[in-house]
Structure 1
C-alpha cells in the first residue's frame, strides 16, 4: 500500500469469515500498519470439524480428473453443484436448520446452489487449498492493534470454546463478543443486517 497508494497506516481492518482470515494475517504480519482490527465469525486456523470438512471438499475436487485437463468438461459444473450443497451448511445457523421444515430447507438449499452456479471450480480449488494451509496461531502474539472479535454462537462452523475464547490469552488488547441472536432479529442472508451489526459494535467500542 505504501508503494501503490502512499499509505503508511490504516485506521481499521474489518473482515468476516474468510475475510477475517485476512484480518488476522495482515495484523500478525504487519503489526505496525493498523490501529484496530475487527474479525467476525473467524478463527486463527482451520481445525477440528472445519479441517475435516474442507479435506472432504478437497477429496471431492481431486476425484474428478477433468480438473487437471486443459479442456473444460461439463462434469466440473456438476462438481460445483455438489460442493455448493456442502458449503450451504456454513451459511446456516443451527436454529434455522432445527426450526425449518424439510420443504423450507430444500428451498433455501436450492436458492443457495442456484446463486453459486457461476462459481469458478478453480477458485474453489484454490480457496480450499488456502483454508487448509491457513494457520496464524503462532503469530497472533505479534498483533499490536486493538482487536474486536465478534462471533455468532449458533453457526455450524464456529467452535467458540476451542477456536475463539482461547484468543483472549493470545492477543493483547482484545475484546471478544459472542452474539446469541434471536431468529427474528438477525437475518443471516441479509448483508445489510450484517453490516449494521458490525457498525453497532464498532460504535460500542468507540473505534474512531
Structure 2
C-alpha cells in the first residue's frame, strides 16, 4: 500500500468512498417541472434551494435510497423479503418531505407485487425534537416524536395513531434510522398491532441512488 492510499476504516477512507458514490449519484435528482412557479423539491443538496438551517441535523438523510429488507411478525408466515425506495427531500423550508414505497420479493429477488406505501413530513424543532407525521396507504396515520441519537442516527416513537374503520389495529410503533457502512441508510422498526405487544417488524439496508 502506498503512502497516498487511505487506511481502511479511517476518515480519509470514508471521504474517498463518499466521493466515489457522489460521482454516480451526485448528478441525479427528483424529476422536475420547469414551469413550477415555486421552488421544487430536491433530494440532492447540490441543486435546488438551500437546506433550511433547522434541518441541518437531518442533512445526512436527504437523498433517495433503495435496497432490501425483511418483515417478520407473529401473526404472519415469514420472514419475507421486500425491496424499498425511500425519499427524503426538501423545498428550502424547515421540514423534510418523506416518501417510502415497498414491494415484496421472491426467494430469487423477483418482484411479487407492490406492498406498503407511506408519505409524510419530518419537522425538526428548536429543542432538537423531531416531529414526524406519516400517512399509510393502509388507512393509518401516525404522529411520532423523537430526537437525534448522534449526528448520524435518529430514533422516533409514536405519540398517537389514528386509523380508519377498515385499517389494521395498530397501537404503537418506534423506529431507529442510521447512516452505516460508508454511507448506507439502515433502519429497524418495532410495531404493536393486532393484539401483539411492541416487537420487531421490519428492517432494511438501503444504498443511496440520488444525492
TM-score by length of 2: 0.26
Q: Which one has a larger percent strand, Structure 1 or Structure 2?
A: 2
Task: Between the two structures, name the one with larger relative contact order (CA 8 Å, sep ≥ 6).
Answer: 1
